[in-house]
Chain A
Amino acid sequence: MPSEFFIPDPAGQVPSAEGYFGAFGGKFIPEALVAAVDEVAVEYDKAKHDPEFARELDDLLVHYTGRPSALTEVPRFAEHAGGARVFLKREDLNHTGSHKINNVLGQALLTKRMGKTRVIAETGAGQHGVATATACALFGLDCTIYMGEVDTRRQALNVARMRMLGAEVVAVKSGSRTLKDAINEAFRDWVANVDHTHYLFGTVAGPHPFPAMVRDFHRVIGVEARRQLLERTGRLPDAAVACVGGGSNAIGLFHAFIPDESVRLIGCEPAGHGIETGEHAATLTAGEPGILHGSRSYVLQDDEGQITEPYSISAGLDYPGIGPEHSYLKDSGRGEYRAVTDDAAMQALRLLSRTEGIIPAIESAHALAGALEVGRELGEGGLIVVNLSGRGDKDMDTAARYFGLYDTDAEVAADAADTAEIEGDAK
């Protein structure tokens, strides 16, 4: 029986055998990792064609994750979107609270097939780390999560969740102490422990085959959303909107719609304090092609190829790179990418909370802010699907400080000082 949820790209057009999406992708890795990365490619290719793998993964996605995820229409929120209808793809309702579990379960099964006993992963907001720690608990694998020190503070709840699940969490103190540096440290670990360790990479970046493999595990998002929308509205959306950090939830939503030329694919990048301030992480808007973390893609860098330190209020989007398939979609014109500021995202977060009773992750709130703009552009009769990639529980401390939701003045003052420190760290 064909799999209902694991639907690797049927078109098979990209990437090339060498892992290139047009000019982007490839495999820029140290020689020490070549054998391991090749092994992942070979094992994934075998798994992709093995009905038993699909059956196991489907079983987990239904009975553990809770797929299919709901598609929720949000009419009160949409009143602020120029009269367009807005639907949310509810990846926040997955077990562990975000889309990340889709990829993690696939790679965890692969880890078992490769006979490896230990998993490492990077995490920004902590959602990929929590999902990975969850899968490792489920499968009895040793688990180490690398997380930038700045992020361990702004996402303290997720640090506690990972530890509760039995993972070791390493706070990375190098560089900007955010997601990029967590990935650097995970690579260093992998080089030293590759014989028994799988690097469970959390986004559609990194060396081939990770961009294509992680995309395949997330394709289910768009496949479901497309079917659900057709059932509910009888037509395809005018736009599919998602936030982009590394780009996994966005590619997951977009991919099934790529052949539907009438559907605009709109990625929302973090503009932080504004592109003009230089304090942002809008890689496709402000970056140039380069090599970071194993592949060629757009990168935030200076004129001599040094990676510049990104900033976003959202730990999950605070990354100076982007998956190569997004760079390909941008340059081919199939994808559109726009930048959303911290403030616009936070306003959208509050708006969805108050109009629909759904508190989104700050990452996903960037997509919501983008959807409000797109809705106003489309006007009456527009139809938009937004990937609500994660829930906002982890962000309540950041949001409470941002909106002044804590009770006493003294607490607010102390929190403001902390926030200043955290933001200072991120610069």
Chain B
Amino acid sequence: MSGNVQLLNDTLAAAKAEGRSALIAYLPAGFPTVDGGIEAIRAVFDGGADVVEVGLPHSDPVLDGPVIQTADDIALRGGVRIADVMRTVREAHEATGKPVLVMTYWNPIDRYGVERFTAELAEAGGAGCILPDLPVQESAPWREHAEKHGLATVFVVAPSSKDERLAEITAAGSGFVYAASLMGVTGTRESVGTQAQDLVGRTRATGTELPVCVGLGVSNRAQAAEVAGFADGVIVGSAFVKRMLDAPDHASGIAAVRELAGELAKGVRGQA
């Protein structure tokens, strides 16, 4: 069975056709429990997310700030396994019909086996993967299997990426390009900053047809509207996780992420 890269492409194209940015949300699998995590993802889709990235928690999340580190830690202490991540992808996708990606570090996939991982992710209805510590030069084995199974390979570009690297990365990637709005790890920020728009412009200047979506630091409707002014998609992670962490109980956490998704969905439609 082939993965859902086409569904991802169609979803992003549909948002563009509506003259808006797409809303891409991130939540880790197994947080706060496997079923609780699935419920949270469904709530985020319900609130208006177009795409969800499911985090596969890692013991050493070097690109994540304290919020996602805390969530990963809760998930790992709860015993989350790759089979749970696959179930999360499957149930989130089947319940909504929407594209679901996995975001993780390279070692869990390398250890699990690239062929086994890509086959299982495609079978679960996954649309692709974001692997922020797998640079394009080391990515050939991954891309071969991802392509075979119909999965997107979403690469991250950073403000420090030189133009020639942007060309290499956009040529190798699929689905969309994840443009990091700033130099730093995940986490909410007061403002998005000026580097993001420049990076989106430089990425598009490579001539790529891939949508360019901006993440890192975006946490509220006003920021989403600002980013939507120049990017094809707005990626929000830590703000959702923080809502869950701050909630007094699970039900209010679910309500809080649904509400945030609704707010951000207005933002990506230019309603600041």
Contact = CB atoms under 8 A, between A and B. Distances in A.
B59 A306 contact: yes
B76 to A, nearest CB: 7
Among A28, A36, A180, A193, max chain B CB count under 10 A is at A28
A310 to B, nearest CB: 12
B111 A303 contact: yes
Nearest to B184: A192
Given A305-B108, A305-B112, A31 B62 contact: no
Contacts of B183: 32, 191-195
Nearest to B185: A188
Contacts of B148: none
A-B complex: 5 closest residue pairs judged by Cβ atoms: A305-B111, A305-B108, A32-B158, A192-B184, A305-B107
Interface in B141-169: 155-162, 165, 169
Nearest to A296: B110
B138 A28 contact: yes
Interface string A1-45: 000000000000000001000000011111111111000000000
Interface stretch (A265-273, A285-293, A344-352): A285-293
Contact of B111 (A26, A27, A290): A290
A interface: dominant SS: mixed
A204 to B, nearest CB: 19
A31 B135 contact: yes
B1 interface: no
A301 B185 contact: no
Interface of A: 18, 26-36, 174-175, 180, 184, 187-188, 191-195, 288, 290-294, 299, 301, 303-308
Among B59, B65, B69, B169, max chain A CB count under 10 A is at B59
A292 B169 CA distance: 23
Interface in B189-237: none
B82 A28 contact: no
A77 B53 CA distance: 60
Given A175-B60, A291-B106, A28 B135 contact: yes
Contacts of B156: 30-32
B81 interface: yes
Given A27-B137, A31-B155, A306-B76, 20 more contacts: A28-B135, A31-B160, A31-B180, A33-B160, A34-B135, A34-B161, A184-B61, A188-B185, A191-B63, A191-B183, A194-B160, A290-B110, A291-B107, A299-B107, A304-B81, A304-B82, A304-B108, A304-B112, A306-B58, A306-B108
Contacts of B157: 31
A184 B60 contact: yes
Contacts of B107: 290-292, 299, 301, 305, 307
Interface in B86-111: 105-111
Contact of A27 (B81, B135, B155): B135
Nearest to B134: A28
A26 B60 contact: no
B108 A35 contact: no
B62 to A, nearest CB: 5
11 contacts: A30-B63, A33-B160, A34-B160, A191-B184, A291-B133, A301-B107, A301-B111, A303-B111, A304-B82, A306-B58, A306-B59
Interface residues of B, number: 39
Contacts of A184: 60-62
A307 B160 CA distance: 29
A236 B157 CA distance: 51
Among A33, A194, A306, max chain B CB count under 10 A is at A306
Nearest to A184: B62
A191 to B, nearest CB: 6
B132 interface: yes
Contact of B65 (A28, A33, A188): A188
B160 A26 contact: no
Contacts of B165: 31, 34-35
B206 to A, nearest CB: 14
B interface: dominant SS: loop
A380 B69 CA distance: 55
A149 to B, nearest CB: 15
Nearest to A32: B158
Contacts of B109: 305
A27 B138 contact: yes
A193 B225 CA distance: 27
A25 to B, nearest CB: 11
B135 A180 contact: no
Contact of B160 (A35, A174, A306): A35
Contacts of A195: 160, 183
Contacts of B180: 31-32
Given A191-B63, A306-B58, A30 B158 contact: yes
Given A194-B160, A290-B111, A174 B69 contact: yes
B60 A307 contact: yes
A202 B161 CA distance: 26
A253 B55 CA distance: 42
Nearest to B157: A31
A112 B10 CA distance: 50
B111 A31 contact: no
Contacts of B159: 32
A306 B112 CA distance: 10
Among A26, A33, A194, A293, max chain B CB count under 10 A is at A33
Contacts of B61: 184
Contacts of B62: 30, 184, 187-188, 293
Contacts of A308: 59
Contacts of B110: 290-291, 305
Among B62, B81, B112, B137, max chain A CB count under 10 A is at B62
Contacts of A191: 63, 183-185
B185 A29 contact: no
Contacts of A188: 62-63, 65, 184-185
Among B106, B111, B156, max chain A CB count under 10 A is at B111
Contact of A32 (B105, B134, B160, B162): B160
Among A26, A191, A292, max chain B CB count under 10 A is at A191
B82 A30 contact: no
B231 to A, nearest CB: 17
Given A187-B62, A192-B185, A194-B160, A304 B138 contact: no
